[in-house]
Structure 1
Amino acid sequence: MVSLSAVQSSNSLIPSTLPRGLVAVFVGGTSGIGESTLKKFAKLSITPRIYIIGRSQEAGERIEAECRLLNPEGVYIFIQADVSLIRVVDELCEEIKAKETHLNILFLSAGLPILDRRETPEHLHLLASLNYYSRLRFITNLLPLLQRASALRRVVTVAGGGLEGPLDPSDFPALHVPLRAIRGHLTTLITLGLEAVATKAPEVSFVHDYPGTVKTPLMSRTEGFLGVFLRALVYLLGRWMCVPLEESGDRHLYLATSARYPPRKGESSRDFAVPLGSGVEVARGTTGEAASGVYSVGWDCEGPSPAAEKLLAGLREAGMVDEIWRHTEKEFKRITE
């Protein structure tokens, strides 16, 4: 486990070790973990440019104003959008690419309080769209900007890192995967999807994390029996089982900035990731090797487990990385053409 004190110590070095003018995009940054993380980034960065993408205009305007109070020298740009739609993602990315020459951090945490089979107008499973397809579309669209950054180049996607489970290759979109197995299925889909992208961009690092149980507005809006159960569980055991939102924000900023999660190649002192503290080692990636460029970590910034490594290795050997990417590109082509 990476201690909270080590996390906070690393984050405190951001003003002195990262360059001025970092550009970050926070998708799902209008509440919960995304909001907490971006405010910490805004406060500690020197003249940052931050794009805040979310559904709520009211929340977006509030966060813009709060960020200006935290750091008046930064630039904060809110864009209201429904990012469950691939065509909307494409429009957003074109808008960002028209304004920016590079991107340092892409932080993806958009979610909805549902676990049913609802579909988007583009005929994707809504839960899968928000957790996988939309996020991978943001990543692939903005990858050229990330690759052109002279400093930090990092993607963080908040979902189920370290909780990879059996994958149904006949149903990648999870339209028929049992609800009890859907988290493991989608978590594996995300991790192997990131591995596919990482082969095209070895100079970018990718972190897929599970934040633990964090009391956020998303939990209060979760529908049905699951919502009732989660809220009751948090009420009774929250003191022991929940990660405080402030701590979660600290940990996610660490995931986004620490040299502990380097890309597979190209990372050096000139890349300006926050340097490792005394006794801290580079993280082990999803392949089981240190500094492999793709990281699947739990709430404690550690992972993956030996069981998850073994599962991913088997799927990798079976050619699932390529198969997942063929499916993903086919879906993007179907939707956009």
Structure 2
Amino acid sequence: MVLLSDIQSSNALISSTLPPNLVAVFVGATSGIGETTLKEFARNVPQPRAYFVGRSQDAGDRIAAECKAINSAGKYTFIKADVSLISVVDDVCREVKAKEEALNILFLSAGAPHMNRADFMLTVAIETSENLHLLVALNYYSRARFITNLLPLLQRASTLRRVVTVAAGGLEGPLDPTDIPARHVALTAIRGHLSTLIDLGLEAIAETAPEVSFVHDYPGIVDTPIFNHMEGIFGLVMRTSIYLFGRWICVPVKESGERHLYLATSAKFPPTTSGSGRGFSIPLGDGIDVAQGTTGVVGSGVYAVQWDCESGARASQKLLAQFRDNGMVEEIWRHTESEFKRITGG
């Protein structure tokens, strides 16, 4: 486990170690983990430039003002968008690329837009207008599209180049190779399927971008406003559990933001090709080691980590190796590109 004190010490070095004017895109940052990580970015980076994407204009205006109060030297641009749609993702990326030539951090944490009017579990059954399951669209296809669209900007950055996707890193499970879109995956198996899908998809992208590092993490149970919008028995159980046991089972939202900024900036998660010279990421503190990647190799460029910022279990690495040996990295990426072509026509 990386202690919170070590996390805070690392984040405190950002202003003196990395150059000013770091550029970051936060997708899903109008509440919860995305919002608090954006604010930690504003707090610790000199003259930051942040683009943050969400569905609520009111929340976007509020957060932009709060970030400005935290660091008046920064620039915070809100983009209102429903990123469950690949066509909308393309629009957002075009807007960013029109304004920026390079990108240091891409942070992906968009959640289900129907959370306030339906039980979370029902998102598995909801389809987008592009004929993708909503949960899979938000956790995999949309994020993969953001990464591939913005990868040239990440590759052009002269310093830190990092992608962080917040989902279920370290909780990998069986993936049905005949049902990659998870149209018929059982509800009890969806998390493991998605986690494995994300890891292998990131590995496919990383093969073309060894100078960029990719982190897929499971944040743990974070006490965010999302639980207040859950209806029905599931929502009642979650709120009651947090009220009674939150002190022991929840990661405080501010700590989660600090940990996610660490995931986005620490040398614990280097790309395959780190380059040389000062300023590529924050140096490791005493007793902190470079993480094992999804392949089980230290510093391999793609990392599945749990809430404590440590790599997932060897059982997950073994499972991923089996899929990798069976050609699933290539198969998943062929499928992903075919879905993008079906939706966009290009």
Scaled to the shorter chain, the TM-score interval is over 0.9
Q: Which amino acid aligns with 1:327?
A: H
Equivalent-residue separation in structure 2 for 1:147 and 1:294 (angstroms): 16
Q: Which runs of 5+ in 1 are unaligned?
A: none
Residues 142-157 of structure 1 mapped to structure 2, 5 A cutoff: 142-157=150-165
Q: Which amino acid aligns with 1:251?
A: R
Equivalent residue for 2:338, pick from 308, 322, 330: 330
* Structure 1: 4+ residue segments shifted above 6 A: none
Per-residue CA shift, 1:57-86, capped at 9, x if unaligned?
A: 001000100111111111110010000000
In 2 relative to 1, CA 312–224 (structure 1 residues): closer, same or farther, beyond 3 Å? farther
Equivalent-residue separation in structure 2 for 1:267 and 1:164 (angstroms): 30
SS in 1 for 2:323: helix
2:271 is matched with which residue?
263
Matched, 1:37 2:37: yes
Q: Which amino acid aligns with 1:146?
A: L
Per-residue CA shift, 1:210-237, capped at 9, x if unaligned?
A: 0000011222223443323222222221
1:298 is matched with which residue?
306
Matched, 1:160 2:168: yes
Deviation, structure 1 residue 172: 1.1
Equivalent residue for 1:314, pick from 309, 315, 322: 322
Q: Which runs of 5+ in 2 are unaligned?
A: none
Q: Which amino acid aligns with 1:318?
A: N
Are the counterparts in 1 of residues 17 and 279 from structure 2 also a CA contact under 8 Å? no
Deviation, structure 1 residue 102: 0.1
Q: Which amino acid aligns with 1:121?
A: S
SS in 2 for 1:255: helix
Q: Which amino acid aligns with 1:167?
A: L
In 2 relative to 1, CA 326–235 (structure 1 residues): closer, same or farther, beyond 3 Å? same
Equivalent-residue separation in structure 2 for 1:165 and 1:222 (angstroms): 26
In 2 relative to 1, CA 331–273 (structure 1 residues): closer, same or farther, beyond 3 Å? same
Q: Which amino acid aligns with 1:300?
A: D
Equivalent-residue separation in structure 1 for 2:74 and 2:245 (angstroms): 39
Equivalent-residue separation in structure 2 for 1:128 and 1:39 (angstroms): 27
Matched, 1:239 2:247: yes
Residues 106-255 of structure 1 mapped to structure 2, 5 A cutoff: 106-112=106-112, 113=115, 114-116=120-122, 117-255=125-263
Are the counterparts in 2 of residues 260 and 282 from structure 1 also a CA contact under 8 Å? yes
SS in 1 for 2:204: helix
Q: Which amino acid aligns with 1:130?
A: L
RMSD after superposition: 1.0
Q: Single out whichever of 201-210 and 166-175 deviates more from structure 2.
A: 166-175
TM-score by length of 1: 0.98
TM-score by length of 2: 0.96
1:2 is matched with which residue?
2
2:71 is matched with which residue?
71
- How many pairs align? 337
Are the counterparts in 2 of residues 64 and 76 from structure 1 also a CA contact under 8 Å? yes
SS in 2 for 1:200: coil
Are the counterparts in 1 of residues 19 and 279 from structure 2 also a CA contact under 8 Å? no
Equivalent-residue separation in structure 1 for 2:280 and 2:182 (angstroms): 39
